[in-house]
Amino acid sequence: MARIIDDVAEQGWSLQTQFIAPAMTAELAEECRKRAAAGLLVRAGVGRSALAVVSEGLRGDHIQWLEAGQHAACDQYLAVMDQLRQAFNQALYLGLEDFESHFALYPPGAFYKKHVDRFRDNDRRAVSVVFYLNEQWQAEQGGALRLHLADGTGHDVLPCAGSLLVFLSADMPHEVLPATRERLSLTGWLRRRDAGPL
């Protein structure tokens, strides 16, 4: 966890490979596929909850939000993310209150255009977290998440099983490039407390 905190503090993002044991990663991938086969993953929209609009020109993933108590491996993953939340709070005093996450499945050819992970009217999402579930991913299959860095360069992260990508939600424009095979991940956000009305 300390390496993640240091990376984010210094450069705004961190990539850790084999962050979680392969057996647990495989369990999470299997659960994502089961939910997809059962029709539980739905086309993702753009915007906040009730106001979200499905826009095939912007993003093409299918998602389902995680809820505690549904599956043992998912609960273990949520517990690890809570440890990460606490580590950020202890080291950087970010005031992170909770974590929200969903399975994301990109069919072959699907993409997500360049964007940032913070809503215009809500700044609760502070730290973005993406955990990849794709065994034996090859670079020629595409599907990278491209970070658009402050110096004008890009950095591509392949969605290889076990890799965890963490970055500051408001400060890191990024996009998901199309792939030639199905692409699975757990995508989530460490969130600040809601300030509420003044």
**Spans of all domains in the chain:** 2-42+58-192
The predicted-structure confidence for 25-49, as pLDDT tens digits, reads as follows 999 999 999 999 999 999 987 655 5
Q: At the top level of CATH, which class does the domain 2-42+58-192 belong to?
A: mainly beta
Q: What pLDDT is attached to residue 51?
A: 47
Which positions ≥6 away from 187 have C-beta within 8 Å?
Answer: 63, 101, 102, 104, 128, 129, 130, 131
pLDDT at position 198, please?
A: 45
pLDDT at 58: 85
Number of other residues whose CB lies within 10 A of the CB of residue 37: 9
pLDDT in tens, 80-104: 999 999 999 999 999 999 999 999 9
Residue ranges of the chain whose pLDDT lies below 50: 50-51, 198
Q: Give the C-alpha distances (Å, rounded to integers) separating 130 from 7, 41, 84, 103, 152.
A: 15, 17, 13, 10, 22
Q: What is the pTM of this model?
A: 0.92
- State the CB neighbour count (10 A cutoff) for residue 3: 9
Q: Under 8 Å CB-to-CB from 192, ≥6 apart: which residues?
A: 94, 95, 96, 97, 123, 124, 125, 126
